[in-house]
Structure 1
């Protein structure tokens, strides 16, 4: 798809605003200024902010999860986890001013429309499921530690990664992600 279409520009800028400001701190006016179109043009593609947020979450999730699923399945578990962290580091961007779009929206969960909330939950579950499989492999390979509870360890590790993305933004350093990963390694 041509990334120069108005629709795609709106979606890209919405993703950035969601990752830097959250759901409640941007408007169609912000988008119209960034894209250079009237708000009515944005409403043509996304009749409501709910529609825009839902599409942004789905596009973000598809991008991130395709990067995660592209990690070599034959690699050792600890190397898979290293590559996973590299995917997360890309999330924060070069300026270090972004957090995971779904992590940011999780903070706004009480004010999110139901379909957006469910899409955010699906993103969390997909990451936790992938991590649980990798942690289980790592225990067998004796390279990762999950206390024989890979699902619980995956939830804790993903929560730690989400928190470290916030700290990386706060301190403007991706090194916070590397620190968390060391916890899972033996």
Structure 2
């Protein structure tokens, strides 16, 4: 028996479809078939696709960032980087998905401004967190010195986004671990 509300199902399926196909790769008809409701019912919850996409981004962002911020800060930085890598790796699913916000970043020209801002906020949060983690790892001697923390965080987050793309392209999950290994002190 389904315990999620129709609204929750719509958001969850929208997230999956975005990660598989992108913003322009699905319609309300696709969602109606997956959830088992009429498209008019979807419009009741989300009058426009833009409303649905914003909710999908906000939900994804809240859940992902909560997991990231919940990591035990007493753990060494290299261990937290490993955990972040596993968290990022969950996005891959069966190897056919891409980070929801990474996929939307590719569609940025067709997104409404509020969705664009939500995606940018998600990127900035990850970049900032990673920059602080790298600085801490440098102090601990567990992660390599990569320069200014804010720049290093952006570079590392870009590497993770690229690794997810390459993992999907080549059908291997090892690309994420390769990114992590490049930042560890040997």
Measured against the shorter chain, the TM-score band is: over 0.9
After TM superposition, the structure 1 = structure 2 runs for residues 1-186 of structure 1, keeping only pairs within 5 Å, are 3-93=3-93, 95-186=94-185
For structure 1, the residue ranges without an aligned partner over 5 or more in a row are none
Query: Whole-Å Cα distance in 2 between the matches of residues 122 and 3 of structure 1?
Result: 31
Q: Give the structure-1-normalised TM-score.
A: 0.96
* Deviation of 1:160 (Å): 0.5
SS where residue 144 of structure 1 aligns?
A: coil
Runs of 4+ in 1 over 3 A off after TM superposition: none
CA distance in 2, matches of 1:32, 1:48: 14
CA drift at 1:3: 4.7
Change in CA separation of 1:3 and 1:101 when aligned onto 2, cut-off 3 Å: farther
Residues matched between the structures, number = 184
Q: Deviations over 1:160-182 (max 9, x none)?
A: 10000011111222111000111
Spell out, residue by residue over 1:115-140, the C-alpha distance to the aligned partner (whole angstroms, 9 max, x if none): 00000000000000100110000110
Inter-partner Cα distance in structure 2 for 1:115 and 1:146: 36
- Structure-2-length-normalised TM-score: 0.96
Give the superposed CA RMSD: 1.1
CA contact 1:139–1:148 (8 Å) conserved in 2: no
